[in-house]
Amino acid sequence: MHVQEWLDSVPAAAVYGLVALVIGLESLGIPLPGEIILISAALMSSQHSGVNPVVLGVCATAGAVIGDSIGYAIGRKGGRPLLAWLGGKFPRHFSEGHVATAERSFEKWGMWAVFFGRFVALLRIFAGPLAGVLHMPYWKFLTANVLGGICWAGGTTAVIYYVGVVAEDWLKRFSYLGLVVALGIGLASMLVLKRKAKKAQPQEREAEPVGAGD
């Protein structure tokens, strides 16, 4: 079966549900490839698969906002013990160095850290739970959460959709290659961010003993 035919056979409702679920769980604090899923779905919508880009953007935004809000509530109730528990379950994402970096960002930028954190893979996972742990006023969190979700989910969907439309002829000739390239770009961006975060981690650990002795 041709890739395009396979894409057309996937129910649009299943795509909307999967995008909302994965992004929601990622925003809640579970490390999942929400951005890659959204990029793939937006590319599908540009190739006449029956997926409506507007509905897709709305579902992605809803997943982001609801997931972040649940993460906020869990973080507010669980407090710092929750971060320690997450560190034990997901050490690569919730290490002490990563938590310290995210916490400083929140203390310095406040609600802007929630807004711009939506565009950074690591902070997307931290934003909701950490804002709750730090007791950020919910109205501030919700404002930044909604605006960030709309800009990130809507913007990503729109950009990928129009890129796919422009490159439609090329994708029709090389559909397999087009999908691989699109997914490859998403994976590469995620790996670069993880590598930068990993390099920053030893610096955080070196700085910790200074504060620990106070």
The predicted-structure confidence for 115-171, as pLDDT tens digits, reads as follows: 887 887 777 777 888 888 878 888 888 898 999 999 999 888 888 888 777 666 555
pLDDT score for 55: 93
CA-to-CA separations, 174 to 16, 65, 167, in angstroms, rounded:
26, 36, 11
pLDDT score for 41: 87
For residue 187, being part of any structural domain is answered with yes
For residue 116, being part of any structural domain is answered with yes
Tokens of 79: 């407090």
Enclosing domain of residue 165: 3-207
Q: Which amino acid, one-letter code, is at 32? A: L
For residue 203, being part of any structural domain is answered with yes
Q: How far apart are CA 129 and CA 72, in angstroms?
A: 5
**pLDDT over 60 at 176, yes or no:** no
**More confident of the two residues 203 and 186:** 186
For residue 44, being part of any structural domain is answered with yes
For residue 213, being part of any structural domain is answered with no
For residue 120, being part of any structural domain is answered with yes
**pLDDT over 50 at 1, yes or no:** no
**pLDDT over 70 at 42, yes or no:** yes
For residue 82, being part of any structural domain is answered with yes
Domains held by the chain: number: 1
**pLDDT over 80 at 60, yes or no:** yes
**More confident of the two residues 10 and 15:** 15
